[in-house]
């Protein structure tokens, strides 16, 4: 990065780097523990179990979004004292939780009737109970993020992840079936509230402060609208596929989708959590904001691109080794979804940027325009099976990321090519790595000692070493930045 960057730019960039290191380290450990629980669940359950739970969760997420009042973004966006807003937001969230619980209880039988499976009713009823609990700790969690207390957030998430994974594994081994994917969430939600109250000293007062509700809602209305449209963009595939292909087809698709998103969710999402407060600090300083964002995009690309390329090349080995041969039918679908995983990882910070500068309306308007294309593509693709649906999703979402980036950058008055330049080294070097790994694997004879697990470990390690070596030769500064971020993440996790 530029050595002559102003102190303000360097300071905010360093805050992002420190926060990202904490969150990446914690996220990797958290996700690894959850990943292991997912492996146990996938080996112990059937695709139909995942499909039925996916239907129930999809509509539960829709109902949850109706209560997304934009409270978190509003509080982080505000400068100065926020005590009164916190009190108002606490009671807003709690009221929304009660309302959403009742709404989901009423809606559950209708959803179950539509998909022809009465179990969905009970799944949605159980999930609804969580709406009464999680609002109790939401403001505390927002304040931890606003104050950039990433160490506390990381340790909290590690504990909750360990608890969730232990409960899931115990439930699967105990023969609870699909309920192994549902019941642990209630316990973890309650534990999260307790931890949030313990970590942050803020306490609600017994007054509604309803006079502040309109202002919070005015800020959050676009986030609510954008969230609902984002839900349809992200879950229209589940709703359509569940109806056309049934729970088993949806189970295979949801398995492929979730595994294809491992890289952006593991590596890019924690960087975004660290970035929002930092971007909000320089929201009125155009040059500093651009400097921080480009550095953020470059670091994210260096993490995401090589991992996605390796996942595509080693998809068969990845699925068979970890989840078993019964999931082989989902391998091609996972590969077809990887273009979306790539652009999702590269463009993951756009929503954060818009929220930080107070322009969530841009994302809302774009979601309105993009939704018809997604619904049409998935509806057509689903008639060609799981792979057809995956191809439709991968193509549509793979294109939306770059298009939205161009729109956002034009809104900000920035050059789109600056974003391309920030990702160039990662894209070029990862392409070289991919060609190298594919070529070497093709040349290695099919000896009897070669197994899926052995190939996954051998060629995965080879790919990482090849990427690091090529990056060192291609872009020494990018190599140094990546190594620095990884060293910080390792140090935080030690």
Q: Give residue 22's pLDDT band: very low, low, confident or very high (50, 70, 90).
A: low
Rounded Cα distance between 432 and 446, Å, is 24
Q: Give residue 225's pLDDT band: very low, low, confident or very high (50, 70, 90).
A: low
Q: What is the pLDDT of residues 422-470, one digit of tens each?
A: 899 999 999 999 999 999 988 887 765 678 899 999 999 999 999 999 9
Residue 1: what pLDDT? 39
Note whether 34 and 161 are within 8 A (CB): yes
Above pLDDT 70, what percent of the chain? 84
Other CB atoms within 10 Å distance of the CB of residue 226:
27
Please, what is the angle between helix 386-412 and helix 213-260, to 10°?
140
Q: What is the pLDDT of residues 89-120, one digit of tens each?
A: 888 888 888 988 999 999 999 999 999 899 99
Rounded Cα distance between 212 and 214, Å, is 6
Residue 2: what pLDDT? 42
Asked if residue 134 is part of any domain, the answer here is yes
Other CB atoms within 10 Å distance of the CB of residue 287:
12
Asked if residue 2 is part of any domain, the answer here is no
Asked if residue 414 is part of any domain, the answer here is yes
Asked if residue 395 is part of any domain, the answer here is yes
Residue 69: what pLDDT? 62
DSSP secondary-structure letter at 82?
Answer: -
Q: What is the pLDDT of residues 292-309, one digit of tens each?
A: 788 888 888 999 999 999
Residues 6+ apart with CB under 8 A from 400: 343, 370
Task: Encode 70-85: b = buried (16+ Cβ within 10 Å), e = exposed.
Answer: bbbbbbbbbeeebeeb
Residue 26: what pLDDT? 65
Number of domains in the chain: 1
Residue 380: what pLDDT? 96
Q: Give residue 338's pLDDT band: very low, low, confident or very high (50, 70, 90).
A: very high
Model confidence at 3: pLDDT above 50: no
Q: Give residue 167's pLDDT band: very low, low, confident or very high (50, 70, 90).
A: very high
Higher pLDDT, 413 or 2: 413
Task: Tell me how far apart the terminal alpha carbons of the chain are, to the nearest angstrom.
Answer: 27
Model's pTM, two decimal places?
Answer: 0.78
Q: What is the pLDDT of residues 252-278, one digit of tens each?
A: 999 999 999 999 887 776 666 556 566
Residue 493: what pLDDT? 52
Domain residues for 276?
A: 7-493
Asked if residue 268 is part of any domain, the answer here is yes
Q: What is the pLDDT of residues 204-220, one digit of tens each?
A: 988 777 777 777 777 76
Higher pLDDT, 483 or 316: 316
Asked if residue 385 is part of any domain, the answer here is yes
Asked if residue 355 is part of any domain, the answer here is yes
- Residue among 93, 351, 62 at smallest CA distance from 217: 93
Asked if residue 1 is part of any domain, the answer here is no
């Amino acid at each position: 990065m530029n050595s002559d960057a102003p102190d303000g730019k360097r300071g905010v960039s360093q805050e992002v780097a420190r926060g990202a290191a904490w969150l990446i380290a914690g996220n990797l450990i958290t996700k690894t523990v959850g990943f292991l629980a997912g492996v146990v669940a996938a080996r112990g359950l059937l695709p139909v179990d995942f499909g039925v739970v996916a239907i129930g969760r999809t509509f539960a997420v829709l109902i949850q979004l109706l209560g997304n009042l934009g409270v978190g973004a509003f509080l982080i966006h505000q400068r100065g004292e926020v005590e009164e807003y916190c009190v108002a937001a606490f009671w807003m969230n709690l009221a929304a939780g009660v309302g959403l619980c009742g709404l989901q209880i009423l809606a559950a039988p209708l959803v179950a009737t539509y998909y022809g499976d009465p179990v969905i009713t009970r799944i949605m009823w159980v999930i609804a109970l969580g709406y009464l609990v999680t609002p109790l700790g939401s403001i505390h969690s927002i304040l931890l993020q606003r104050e950039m207390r990433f160490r506390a957030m990381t340790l909290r998430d590690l504990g909750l992840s360990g608890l969730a994974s232990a409960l899931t594994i115990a439930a699967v081994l105990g023969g609870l079936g699909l309920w192994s994917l549902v019941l642990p969430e209630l316990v973890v939600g309650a534990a999260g509230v307790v931890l949030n109250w313990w970590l942050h000293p803020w306490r609600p007062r017994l007054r509604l402060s309803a006079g502040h509700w309109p202002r919070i809602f005015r800020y959050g209305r676009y986030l609510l609208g954008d969230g609902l449209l984002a839900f349809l963009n992200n879950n229209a595939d589940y709703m359509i596929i569940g109806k056309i292909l049934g729970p088993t087809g949806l189970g295979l698709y949801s398995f492929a989708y979730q595994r294809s998103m491992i890289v952006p969710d593991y590596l890019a999402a924690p960087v975004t959590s660290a970035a929002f407060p930092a971007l909000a600090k320089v929201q009125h300083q155009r040059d500093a904001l651009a400097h921080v964002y480009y550095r953020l995009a470059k670091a994210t690309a260096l993490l995401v691109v090589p991992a996605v390329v390796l996942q595509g090349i080693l998809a068969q080995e990845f699925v068979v080794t970890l989840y078993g041969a019964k999931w082989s039918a989902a391998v091609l679908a996972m590969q077809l979804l990887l273009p979306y995983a790539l652009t999702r990882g590269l463009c993951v910070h756009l929503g954060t940027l818009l929220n930080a500068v107070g322009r969530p309306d841009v994302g809302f308007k774009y979601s309105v325009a993009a939704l018809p294309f997604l619904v049409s593509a998935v509806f057509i693709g689903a008639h060609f099976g799981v792979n057809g649906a995956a191809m439709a999703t991968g193509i549509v979402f793979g294109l939306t990321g770059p298009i939205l980036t161009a729109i956002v950058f034009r809104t900000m008055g920035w050059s789109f090519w600056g974003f391309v330049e920030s990702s160039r080294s990662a894209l070029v070097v990862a392409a070289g790595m991919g060609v190298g790994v594919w070529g070497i694997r093709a040349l290695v004879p099919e000896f009897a000692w070669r197994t899926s697990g052995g190939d996954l470990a051998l060629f995965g390690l080879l790919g990482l070493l090849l990427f690091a070596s090529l990056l060192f030769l291609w872009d020494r500064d990018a190599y140094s930045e990546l190594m620095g971020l990884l060293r910080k993440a390792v140090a935080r996790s030690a």
